[in-house]
Amino acid sequence: MFVCGRQFGVFARRGFASSARRQDQWVLIAYDAADSDAPMRRLRSREAHLALQSQLKESGSNILGGAILDRPGSDERSKMIGSVIVFEADSRVDVEKLIKDDPYVKNNVWSSWEIKPFRVAIKK
């Protein structure tokens, strides 16, 4: 049985747990290579990287993503130095499979990364 109530200005849904299994969430934190050619490799690979991540978003695997900047702001002085992507997948291995064909991996834009379990608490 589900009971809908008003709480903090939004509808809260309470009840028994669903039998459908939700996929786990994972955060990828990737850092760009530091060599002098790395920014150009990022720029050349960016369109293909964004196209792939858009496809993963449409399929429900990519929840959100963005660039790590070397300083606050969106002006020309800010440089992209890495990426953060939140995925939904059954396992860390599945996330590794999702990123192995990413242009940033194939073209050595990212020099290192870590994948950690994650839980999105607030969605837009």
- Answer whether residue 15 shows pLDDT above 50: no
Look over the chain and give the mean of its residue pLDDT values, rounded to a whole number.
Answer: 85
Residue 29: count of CB within 10 angstroms of its CB = 16
Q: Would you say residue 31 has pLDDT above 50?
A: yes
Q: Give the CA distances from residue 6 to residues 9, 71, 103, 107, in Å, rounded to whole numbers and listed in that order.
A: 6, 41, 45, 50
C-alpha distance from residue 58 to each of 12, 24, 27, 62, 118 (Å): 27, 17, 18, 8, 20
* Rounded Cα distance, 45 and 108, in Å: 10
Q: Render pLDDT for 33-80 as a digit per residue (tens, 0 to 9).
A: 999 999 999 999 999 999 999 999 999 999 999 999 999 977 778 899
Amino acid occupying residue 120: V
Q: What percent of the chain has pLDDT over 70?
A: 83
pTM for the model: 0.79
The pLDDT score that the predictor gives to residue 123 is 75
Confidence at residue 27, expressed as pLDDT on a 0 to 100 scale = 98
Quickly state the pLDDT bin for 97 (edges 50, 70, 90): very high
Between 10 and 46, the higher pLDDT residue: 46
- Asked whether 120 and 114 are in contact (CB, 8 A), the reply is no
